[in-house]
Structure 1
Amino acid sequence: MNSTRRTFVASSLALGAWPGIVLAQDKWPSRPLRIVSGGSAGGGSDMFVRVLETRLRERLGQPLYIDNKPGAGGMLAAGLTSSSPPDGHTYFVSNLATNAIGLALYAKPTFDPTKELPAVARISTLTNAVAVRADSGIDSIGALIARMKADPEKVFYGSAGVGTSSHLGGHMFVQRVGVPGKHVPYKGTAANLTALLAGEVMFSMDNLPLYVQQVKAGKLRLLAVTQSKRALNYPEVPTVQEAAGIGAFDVFSWYGLSASTGTPNAILERFGGEIVAALKDPGIAAAVRELGAEPAPLGPAEYQAFMQDEIRKWSPVVKSSGASVG
């Protein structure tokens, strides 16, 4: 958002001049809630919202509908939401790519997540995992590191694209190991998985659910999860941090909701509180885990602080990787 529009929003809020803003606070929500997603229909962003939709509809008296606006790695959807009226009826599925990595990755980001798109609630976290072909002869993260050091010219790692957590996590890993691994970006997670199965890369570090079916089929092996704590569904799989001997390592994706710029705090608190309460319901928590993620509820203030921490964490990683868009 440019400074002229930001000033206009602030002035409008102070004077109560934005159409519908008083109504939004007194009778919110007065119509269905629009949830703008930067992913394609049926993707991860959509699934976490759908898990919550029934509970939130019952509590708020209005349905939620997903408006998919893919493009520019989710930054298009973020920008559209940011400039929507601040009446509490338009939200964005905020996530690691757009609200943390994107600020450093894009030369001209369409919004500033530290000043725009105020936080509503964090919904979930989703660990990545280091995976290799089952027939690679690599049976542990230590064995992978030994292979990398023994044959550094063959250290290729795949990702779902430049600037994704699979790219930057892989970059952090090879940097810590001390081997100049070669990044091979593919067009999305499906293509990255196909490349790993075909033996085009030595390993990849994408979202854990991507690998589950191929692990069950005996085609891939999980070596470690990248979050600093073990995954509840795979307690036998160690973390990179505990098994690799390369220091602190905590790579994971996350999803939540953010509001259009200028949305009143009363609405943020009400909506955020409903989401946090919903995620404490055992049935909803189980549904989130069925998607391969963990419920990770944070209210507005905590989620905003978390995102600022993530920006500080990922900015130097993006810069050291040399990744840049636009």
Structure 2
Amino acid sequence: MNQIDAARNHDRSALALLPGRRAVIGALLLAGLCTGTLAHADAATDAWPNKPVRLVVPFPASGATDLISRVIAQRVSQELGQQFVVDNKPGAGGTIGAAEAVKAAPDGYTLLFTTSSTHAISPHLMPRLSYKVDQDFTPIAHMADAASVLLVTPSLPVKNVQELIAYAKANPGRLNYASSGNGTIVHLNALEFAARAGVKLTHVPYKGTAQSITDLAAGQVHLLFDSIPTGMPHVASGRLKALAVTSLQRSALAPDLPTIAESGLPGYSSVTWFGVYGPAGMKPELVAKVNAAFNKAVQNPEVASALAKLGAEPAKAGTPAQFQAMVKADGARWARIIKDNNITLD
């Protein structure tokens, strides 16, 4: 083989290796890009929050959810040194604001502060919602619970839950209860109570529980499941009687009242829960960081004291998975009550 032929063979060998070399170089470049992307994502998580965070509240300003969210958001802001801005987007039982939060980027800078209404009740009352609670959100943290109190008119000759049940059974169809409207937690609480107790009660819906207090005091309606802060002052004044609270454990806000569960209906438990969600697709590391920040804030004694004035108690610090499981169980329970009673919205 002469020198010219040898040179040609060398060139052919080099050309044959080019695709392999290109593949190796391409793989190295891709690995570099992936490493850079992961590093950027980690940096973004580590830096969160480095700008104001929008906290969507799907209920009106000055309402219970709004006030509770502001107490917690203020503490998170103090802890992290970054502003958390409450953005009220009310309407349709909270579903309008919830649907808006779904559209945000999953970067931790738009979060949703919401309640049982949007994620455990409305999905079973509004089957055509634009969002799916198990697909379109990232559960982050369970923040607080608000129990209700079972109130009765003073003229009703009962002193406790067992006597109320006995009276209702002895007088079938004669007792009625007020609510703040079809499908509300007030309505559902009474339905579950009646189902567990095996009694028949007549529903009298109002536009709000405040409007029913006068009729309850006058004996025109007999029962009402109201919030502790709004109901208990009427008990203190003697206008109404309180029989029990709806939480599974006694409430620190009314420690002398027994629970319905311990008063003859084992297992009865109902609270309005409050929690934080993000849009679907948030990275686990970011979720863990947001979860830790909100858990720390709500365990602060000053926050707990402020929440108590609003009728809520801090939830125990938990993981996103625990929060998701709680919401799923709560939704299944209300789905059953709604289906069994053929509840529809007005």
Smaller-chain TM-score bracket: 0.7 to 0.9
Counterpart residue number, 2:25 = none
Asked if 1:180 is matched to 2:163, the reply is no
Count how many residue pairs are aligned between Structure 1 and Structure 2. 310
Which whole-Å CA distance do the structure 1 matches of 2:114 and 2:154 have between them? 35
Counterpart of 2:238 (choices 218, 228, 252) is: 218
Structure 2 residue matching 1:162: 3-state secondary structure: coil
Amino acid at match of 2:288: E
**Cα deviations across residues 21-50 of structure 1 (Å, max 9, x unaligned)?**
888535322322211112211111112222
| Structure 1 segments (4+ residues) deviating >4 Å | 20-24
- Is 2:59 the partner of 1:45? no
SS at match of 2:188: helix
The 5 A counterparts of 1:197-276 are 197-243=217-263, 245-276=264-295
- Find the counterpart in structure 2 of residue 122 from structure 1: 142
Query: Alignment partner of 2:134: what SS?
Result: coil
Any idea what the Cα deviations from partners look like across 1:183-224, whole Å, max 9, x if unmatched? 122223323434423433210112222202211221111101
Aligned counterparts of 1:153 and 1:310: Cα–Cα separation in 2: 29
- Taking structure 2 as the reference length, the TM-score comes to 0.82
| Structure 1 SS opposite 2:173 | helix
Q: Tell me by how many angstroms 1:167 deviates.
A: 0.7
CA contact (8 A) 2:61 2:67 kept: no
Q: In the alignment, is the contact (CA less than 8 A) between 2:244 and 2:259 conserved in 1? A: yes
Say which one has the larger Rg: 2
User: Which string of whole-angstrom CA distances, capped at 9 and with x for unpartnered residues, describes residues 210-259 of structure 1?
Assistant: 2022112211111011111111232221111111x233201111101111
From 64, 67, 79, give the equivalent of 2:87: 67
Show CA shifts across 1:290-313 (max 9, x none).
222211033322212211121222
Distance in 1 (CA, whole Å) between partners of 2:47 and 2:132 is 29
CA deviation after TM superposition for structure 1 residue 82, in Å: 0.9
Q: Secondary structure at the match of 1:153?
A: coil
Over 3 Å counting, the alpha-carbon distance change for 1:310 and 1:186 in structure 2 is same
Quote the Cα distance in structure 2 between the aligned partners of 1:192 and 1:259: 36
Pair 109,193 (structure 1): closer, same or farther in 2 beyond 3 Å: farther
Q: CA deviation at 1:170?
A: 0.2
- Aligned match of 1:159 in 161, 165, 179? 179
C-alpha displacement of 1:133: 2.2
Mapped to 2, the partners of 1:242 and 1:195 lie a distance apart of: 28
Question: One-letter code of the match for 2:84?
Answer: L
Cα distance change, pair 112–194 in 1 and its aligned pair in 2 (3 A): farther
Matched-pair contact (CA < 8 Å) for 1:193–1:210: no
- 1:291 to 2:290 alignment: no
- In structure 2, the partner of 1:90 is 110
Q: Does 1:277 align with 2:296?
A: yes
**Aligned residues: CA RMSD:** 2.4
- Identity among equivalent pairs (%): 32
> Which amino acid is 2:284 matched to?
N
The answer to whether the 8 A contact 1:29-1:89 is kept is yes
Gapped regions of structure 2 (runs ≥ 5): 1-33
Q: Is the 8 A contact 1:33 1:91 kept in 2?
A: yes
The answer to whether the 8 A contact 1:166-1:207 is kept is no
Alpha-carbon separation, structure 2, partners of 1:66 and 1:182: 39
Contact 1:88 1:264 (8 Å CA) reproduced: no
Task: Tell me if structure 1 keeps the 8 A contact 2:155–2:219.
Answer: no
| Aligned-partner Cα distance in 2 for 1:325–1:109 | 14
